[in-house]
Amino acid sequence: MTYTLDSFVKDAQAALKASNGPASREQVRLLLEKLLANKQFVDEAVGPSAPMGARKLYEDKDLGFVVLAHCNAKPHKSPPHDHGSSWAVYGQAVNHTDMSEFRRLDAGTGAGEAKLEHVRSYRLEPGHAGVYDVGAIHAIDYPEGSRFVRVTGRDLDYVQRLKFDTSAGKAIAIESATAGPA
């Protein structure tokens, strides 16, 4: 039987209800890799006929997690950033995404002076997923045409987050219309 988005949602719900910690998010990562093995899902969600940009595939009103399709027409390199009080799982579908992980060396947790240390870099290839837990700092770099599915613990429009300017040694609040200033 083919593993579908509906199957993924049900299994992710079960995992997240059973535990609210890193083990459940790792289970979501494994489930997302299973979903990305379904060529029909990939073609429909992020394939050549899918619309460019990011769009919501599913939002769980009770648990809060969101499944998004990202179809990127242009290359992009983000600064190091976090997802605030949310976690994220990135699952590569088409092309690749280079991921870099960082650790904050200063005692800060919010905006202001910040010093980061690069921890590791790796490439997410089609069918592979990576977990970025609450507060994890990472940067993404993808080429034109890269497509991925991202699952977040909450709708990031409502989460205060940080981006980091490593040359200036600063953490800067990412403001959205809904989350407001950090």
Task: For residue 89, name the pLDDT band (cuts at 50, 70, 90).
Answer: very high
- Cα(139)–Cα(156) distance, integer angstroms: 16
- Cα(91)–Cα(152) distance, integer angstroms: 11
pLDDT tens figures, 32-72: 999 999 999 999 999 999 999 999 999 999 999 999 999 99
Please give the distance of CA 97 from its chain centroid, rounded to a whole number.
11
| Model pTM score | 0.92
Give the chain's domains with CATH numbers: 5-174 (2.60.120.10)
- In 3D space, the residue among 175, 136, 128 whose CA is nearest the CA of residue 153 turns out to be 136
Is the pLDDT at 182 greater than 70? The verdict is no
Task: For residue 176, name the pLDDT band (cuts at 50, 70, 90).
Answer: low
- In 3D space, the residue among 66, 71, 1, 55 whose CA is nearest the CA of residue 32 turns out to be 66
pLDDT for residue 95? 97
pLDDT for residue 36? 98
- Cα(155)–Cα(64) distance, integer angstroms: 7
